[in-house]
Amino acid sequence: YWIKMSRAELVSICWELKIECKDKSIDEMKQLIREFADKNFKRRSKISGSKMSLTLRKFLSKEYDFKFYNKNKEEVNYKGNKI
């Protein structure tokens, strides 16, 4: 199951993660981002979203079901259509 993201959003995520994405298709970029996340982010550990772009947080929450929390320890929902 792939989430729908624009090419520009995926390129932005690749740049943020320092992933080479030149001449890659949308599906190839999604796969590269998934591989990076599998290698570098543990789903059950707490990850600081403050240093991630909104686009990356949106991708991780929709694609991987990551949960992000604000300073008050309230879950922030990035799964809706409006962010």
51-65 pLDDT, tens digit per residue, is 788 888 888 888 777
The confidence score (pLDDT) of residue 39 equals 85
Residue 3's contacts (CB-CB under 8 Å, 6 or more residues apart) are 59, 62, 63
Distance CA 69, CA 50 (A): 10
This prediction's pTM: 0.73
Largest CA distance in the chain: 42
What are 11-60's pLDDT values in tens digits?
999 999 999 999 999 999 989 998 898 888 766 656 667 778 888 888 88
Q: Using pLDDT thresholds of 50, 70 and 90, give the confidence band for residue 1.
A: very low
Nearest to 29 by CA among 7, 62, 57, 55: 7
